[in-house]
Amino acid sequence: MLVLGKQLEGKNILSLRIGRPVGVATQPIINPNNLKIEGWHAIDSSKKDERIMLSQDVRDILPQGFVVNDHDALTPEDELIRLKDQLNQNFTLVGKIVVSDGRKKLGKVADYAFEKNSMFIQKLYVAQSVVKSFSGGTLIIDRSQIIEITNKRITVKEPTVKEAEAVPVTA
């Protein structure tokens, strides 16, 4: 099942053990090499400091927020040695410029959808400029179309399907 990423920013982190929120998720930690959500930055409700909630600690994602076992799912950043590279990169997906392999600017990433169980990003929703949005709307790009991801832009395969000409309807 796919979940929209921006829909989860600012959602509660709910504990199964104590039955109430233990924090609030602020933004995802995305690995740019494979587009996997490794975890989320979170604000701890009791200590009011920033912590990290690893995606492997998430039991479920509900409309109310993330479900974890208990408060121990929120870890201080300095304890996560393996994630240090991703945390230092501070990679953000929303707002990245998307270009085709023909160097044509397609727009900017407005949102993304990820698979709830694997936490891999599957779709990018690209907002086009105002002029292009009147004729085409939002572009949806599958992860298989992505060629390269850098700190400045995302390069995708050029679309090969041309718009079909309008055929008059006869009665």
Quote the CA–CA distance of 77 and 1 in Å, as a whole number.
29
Q: What's the burial of 118, exposed, middle or buried (CB within 10 Å: 0-12/13-18/19+)?
A: exposed
pLDDT in the model for residue 47? 79
Query: Do 88 and 78 form a contact (C-beta atoms < 8 A)?
Result: no
pLDDT class of 66 with cuts at 50, 70, 90: very high
167 confidence band (pLDDT: 50, 70, 90): low
Taking Cα atoms as reference points, which of 58, 22, 19, 24 lies closest to residue 39? 58
Q: What number of residues does the chain have?
A: 171
pLDDT in tens, 128-159: 876 555 556 788 999 999 999 998 999 999 86
Sorted by where each starts, the structural domains of the chain and their CATH numbers stand as: 2-89 (2.30.30.240), 97-156 (2.30.30.240)
pLDDT at 124 over 90: yes
